[in-house]
Copies of this chain bind each other. A is one copy, B any other.
């Protein structure tokens, strides 16, 4: 009995520190990458499930590979149910950044086994889905618009740029911003849960190369969130190493171009972005290029952002 007061004292002294640490690091979002590469491997193309921590109501940001990624995630015990069940019950909607096949093939291939849900995107992206994929020539029309008969499983939900709206069947909100991706309009999705945000960018080139102001406008929109520490992570593509000639970028970023754009973000934010979480997506094989991209990002990271390389089927928290 003699030593008890000391122990109690110790517990009380430790408690505030522990709580503070928890508050500081408590994550707001979980991301389950279903596919992470920028090409050629059909088993691992851009698709990222996103949900608030504590929720099992995910959205899927792009949908290049679904089934194979879900199988990997299930094998890694990220989900307790089978891949087929996660597809049906845990993905509450798809957000397609642009209509290139490597960003939506998994959704189309899996549509016969899917449940009723929304497919969100800018008008031009959904138009291509309607006229090129769910058409009866390329695939059965599982949507509720376009070629007859309409199987009415998917509902196209057109997003208006910069207009925040709720994501049905989830507790999240979304705002879409246009991006310049060579001849196509691509999309950034800013997803909100409570007071925190994750930003996902589909394929995009740098403003200078694309002769665009889309990224600078996006940085203006998210700069205040960065300053307040509310932007928990940004998912951005880097497709090629620095050696790729400008004329062969096809609307993509290199390590140097990404760091240039993040410099713009810091300038607009008006404060250091050191420690900001940057999830680097869409690295294009071959492997030697991927290793080069990682090395060049490491060397070029004078801003001190926190770089993460997502792996298929392995959950991340931010």
Q: A residues within 8 Å of B by Cβ?
A: 39-43, 45, 65-68, 71, 84, 99-102, 105-106, 108-110, 112-113, 128, 131-133, 135-140, 183-184, 250, 286
Contacts and interface: CB of A to CB of B under 8 A. Distances in A.
B66 A112 contact: no
A110 B68 CA distance: 18
Copy count, this protein chain: 2
B138 A84 contact: no
B109 A39 contact: yes
A39 B109 CA distance: 7
Contacts of A45: 42, 109
A106 B108 CA distance: 14
Contacts of A138: 99-101, 128, 132-133
19 contacts: A39-B112, A40-B67, A40-B110, A41-B71, A42-B42, A42-B67, A42-B68, A99-B137, A100-B139, A101-B133, A101-B138, A102-B109, A105-B105, A128-B138, A132-B132, A132-B133, A132-B137, A136-B183, A140-B250
Nearest to A83: B40
Contact of A42 (B43, B136, B184): B43
B101 A108 contact: yes
Contacts of A139: 100-101
B99 A40 contact: no
Contacts of A42: 42-43, 45, 65-68, 105-106, 109
Contacts of A101: 105, 108-109, 133, 138-139
A60 B82 CA distance: 33
Contact of A105 (B39, B99, B109, B140): B109
Contact of A113 (B40, B71, B110): B40
Nearest to A84: B286
Nearest to A114: B40
